[in-house]
Amino acid sequence: MRINSKLIATTLLAALFAGTSAQAASVERLEHIKPELKAPPFVMDHEQATKAKPRVVEFTLTAEETEMVIDDKGTKIHAMTFNGTIPGPTLVVHEGDYVQLTLRNNAGNMFEHNIDFHASTGAMGGGDLTIVKPGEEAILRFKADRAGAFVYHCAPGGSMTPWHIVSGMNGTILVLPRDGLKDHKGKKLRYDRIYTIGEQDFYIPTDANGKYKTYPNAIMGKKEMEDVMKTLTPSHIVFNGKVGALTGENALKAKVGETVLVLHEVANRDTRPHLIGGHGDYVWERGKFANPPLINLETWFIPGGAVGASLYTFKQPGLYAYVNHNLIEAVHKGAAAHFDVEGEWDNDLMKQVKAPTKISEEK
């Protein structure tokens, strides 16, 4: 019997195409929703646990290249962003949902952009399928098949990838378990508030007098910025795009008795968050909810290219500093935030027994 290999190959390809088409049609029949994104540190409205069947969650992110001031000295950077913020908006879905992203590149931009989702599988995290030139858009869909908090970032290839990331193009996607978060014993956990903190390293060149330099556009500063990047020594290490973005009047709000989930995203460098005066009641250091959380941590470690998640119930009112506990980076580089917590003081937890007074000398 003679085997027609060409016929077999054609039949297999036809079957594969039919299967792919059938799968696509099946996904299209799912419910489609378009939630409204919020600028960080805030997170879009969402269910913590859901009884809904898997659905297609549609988002739009726009690559925006814009000049930003990153400290109180007026230091400027030609930032590259998703939706105009550093970090980009936090996307929230549930495990088993499909993420459908429209990525747009503003016509006035200088560079190609794309998006690499650490939560996805294949094609360089979607980066190979979302390369858009200025004035173009692409649509990517992937299945969120594992729960956790994940980084997304621009990754156009070569030296452009780290440059775009340290220029601001990164963010968080939160894939919640369909039945919600659980503690180390399997008990359900809930939160009253959720915030995203994006830790961003900047590499601003200085002139002969040590003053930070500015450039007419991003490409003119690229070579000198890359020279600073290669030293692995950031000029700034900040939360949410600039020094003081989450302190003072911009402090994160909470009340005594409220449980707060913090998503701490760091696309490039390792970090070690610490809540001064508080703890990590439950901490997923690498943000993956299939693993049981660590409990009662003082400081936790998040490797570069990951999102850590920490859950804490505030017990005392007042101002809390949330810092990278390399305190040199917190104090001198800018990696600090504040929580402003309202409520009644609990003397049983802490009490000033004696106010400072002058020490009397005993004769």
Give catalytic residues, as residue numbers: 113, 116, 118, 153-154, 164, 169, 274, 298-299, 325
Position 211: which residue type?
K
Identity of the residue numbered 244: G
Nearest by Cα to 38 from 206, 226, 248, 263 = 263
Closest CA to 308 of 320, 321, 291, 332: 291
Comparing CA positions, the residue from 199, 211, 222, 197 lying closest to residue 309 is 197
CA 7, 9, 13, 15 dihedral sign is positive
Instruction: Quote the distance between the C-alpha of residue 67 and its chain's center.
Output: 21
Question: Kind and range of the H or E element at 121?
Answer: none
Contact 89, 60 (CB under 8 A): no
Find tokens 């690559």 and name the residue: 63
**Cα distance between residue 311 and residue 42, in whole Å:** 16
Q: One-letter amino acid identity for 341?
A: V
Asked if 265 contacts 196 with a C-beta cutoff of 8 angstroms, the reply is yes
Q: Residue 249 in contact with residue 295, Cβ under 8 Å?
A: no
CA distance 255 to 37: 24
Q: 327 in helix, strand or coil?
A: helix
CB burial string 78-117: b at 16+ within 10 A, e below: bbbbbbbbbbbbbbbbbbbbbbbbebbbeeebebbbbbbb
